[in-house]
Structure formats: structure tokens, C-alpha cells
Amino acid sequence: MSVVVTSGFLLTPDSVPADRPRLCVNRVTGTVTASTEASGYPASRANNVFTYAGWQPTAVPATWEIDLGSAEEVDYCGLVGDYGSNGSAIQPQYWDGSAWQDAAPEQIPASNEPLAFLFNAISASKWRVRVTGAICTISVIKFGKASAVDRGMQTGFMPGTWNRNNEYTTQWSEGGQILGRVKKRRGTKQKINIPDIPESWADDNWDALRESLEDESVFFIWDPSNHPKHIVYGMTDKDPRLSYSRYGGYLSLDMEIAGL
């Protein structure tokens, strides 16, 4: 499972249903520490958008913690790492002022695919990821507030997890025989088109979201409750666009994510 939707997630009357897309872009900031750090794998390496390096503890149980300085609302935790191949157990937690509490149930991922936990918003000044079972390397850890879009994907949507973005070069002889083939893996190219979004959503969300997407990564989850295995992590390939749709007062969101 790539997305963990906590029981009771978003049951309030004015909330966006759990079967609608989430763009997990916002990242809280603060002072990062860890229980232990292997040489060359400091805690700070998990506090960025890049996947080529990360934090690795020297023993488990282990914790990676971020102190925000003051309480902020958080409703997701996104991770990228090799937890699946190592058999590690992962759990996000928050500090309630006197003890650490579970933000979501502990999970033992079956693969190294991007992992996200979604839960009802919690206000806390300290957050952490707890690792048990086995040592792993986590290259990205994000806590923040997801941008939810109360519109589903349109017909023709292609989940990035099912559609790769590899490049192939095939060598042919003069006689038309196949001599060889080279594959250059380029991960996933996730095209997103969400139609009929109310102008009010753009007024409330678009400026901050667009600015964040220029430098920040995104966990894109198109249907958390019904398709928990479909999650793409990456960065936008070009500026996202909003355009007016066929209905007055409604917009279409178009963007592309290049990633895992």
C-alpha cells in the first residue's frame, strides 16, 4: 500500500471526500534532528526534494524529528526511501505537549514506492517519523497541509504508476534485423487535468500552490480511498496552468509531474 488513509479521515460535512485528488506540496519547516545518523547520511538530507541521498540511522528504533517552533496544522506525511526492501516499519507521530502520539497507524511497506499518510488535520509544534524493524535510508520526509481538489479526474486520465516515461533506442542492421536495444529510464511522467474547479478554490489556493510548485516537490494522490497504490512523487516539468472551462466560473487545472 502506498497511501495510508487513517480511519475517520475527513468525515466533517465541509471536508473534501477522500476519493478526490490531493496535491501534497506544502512543507512545514523547522529544526531537524534524528536519534542517530550513519556517516554520510545526516538527518538534514531527508529534509529536501531530492532522492539521490538521504538519512540513515545506525540502530532501530530510530526517529527523525522536525521542531517547528510553534504549532502548525499538518494532515499528511510523505516519504521516499528503501524501507520496502529492508522490511522497515514506518509511523508518523506528533508531540501533544507531554508525549508522542500516533498520527497514523504503523505500516510495513511492501515496496520502495513513495509512501504517504493522510489524516485529519492536527495542530502540533513537533513531528517525527519512527522507524522500527530494520534500518533503512529515507531520502525524502515531508510533513505539511495537502491541497485537496473537490473534483475527480476526467475520462482518459492515465495513472503515472501504470505508465512509465522510459526512452528506447533500437539498433537495426541494414537488412532490417534487430541488433540491440538500449533503455534509458526516466521514471514517470504524470499528466494531470482536473476540470470544473470552482473559481473560489483558485482564489483560496492557487497563488500559494503555484509559487510552491516552482521549487518544491509534490506527492500526487488522485484517489486516496479507492486507489491507495497510485501515488506519484516528483516535481513539475513546466508551470501549471488554470484555464476557464466550458462553464462560467469554473476552471481546469493542467500540470505535469516528472518523478517516481
Higher-pLDDT residue of 17 and 44 is 44
Grid cell for residue 174 = 541494414
Per-residue pLDDT at 7 exceeds 80: no
Q: What is the pLDDT of residues 108-161, one digit of tens each?
A: 999 999 999 999 999 999 999 999 999 999 999 999 999 999 999 988 899 998
pLDDT band at 169 (very low <50, low <70, confident <90, very high): very high
pLDDT band at 186 (very low <50, low <70, confident <90, very high): confident
Identity at 58, one-letter amino acid code = T
Do 67 and 141 reside in the same domain of the chain? Answer: yes
Do 66 and 128 reside in the same domain of the chain? Answer: yes
Cis ω for the linkage preceding 61 (within 30 of 0)? yes
Q: What is the pLDDT of residues 30-86, one digit of tens each?
A: 999 999 999 999 999 999 999 999 999 999 999 999 999 999 999 999 999 999 999
Do 164 and 140 reside in the same domain of the chain? Answer: no
Do 192 and 103 reside in the same domain of the chain? Answer: no
Asked whether residue 14 is assigned to any structural domain, the reply reads: no
**Could you tell me the CATH number of the domain that includes residue 64?**
2.60.120.260
Predicted pLDDT at 166: 85
Per-residue pLDDT at 229 exceeds 70: yes
Per-residue pLDDT at 14 exceeds 80: no
Q: What is the pLDDT of residues 198-221, one digit of tens each?
A: 999 999 999 999 999 999 999 999
Do 131 and 169 reside in the same domain of the chain? Answer: no
In the block, residue with C-alpha cell 486507489: 227
Predicted pLDDT at 1: 52
Range of the domain at 130: 27-145
Predicted pLDDT at 44: 98
Domain boundary among 145, 173, 195: 145
Asked whether residue 150 is assigned to any structural domain, the reply reads: no
Do 67 and 120 reside in the same domain of the chain? Answer: yes
Predicted pLDDT at 107: 95
Asked whether residue 9 is assigned to any structural domain, the reply reads: no
Total domain count, the chain: 2
Do 91 and 127 reside in the same domain of the chain? Answer: yes
Do 38 and 125 reside in the same domain of the chain? Answer: yes
Predicted pLDDT at 29: 98
> CA-to-CA distance for 260 and 248, rounded, in angstroms?
36
List, in order, residues 6 or more apart from 89 with CB less than 8 Å away.
Answer: 106, 107, 108, 131, 132, 133
> CA-to-CA distance for 43 and 32, rounded, in angstroms?
7
Q: Are 76 and 67 in contact (CB under 8 A)?
A: no
pLDDT band at 171 (very low <50, low <70, confident <90, very high): very high
Asked whether residue 6 is assigned to any structural domain, the reply reads: no
Do 66 and 90 reside in the same domain of the chain? Answer: yes
The distance in angstroms from the start CA to the end CA of the chain is 15
Grid cell for residue 234 = 516528483
pLDDT band at 226 (very low <50, low <70, confident <90, very high): very high
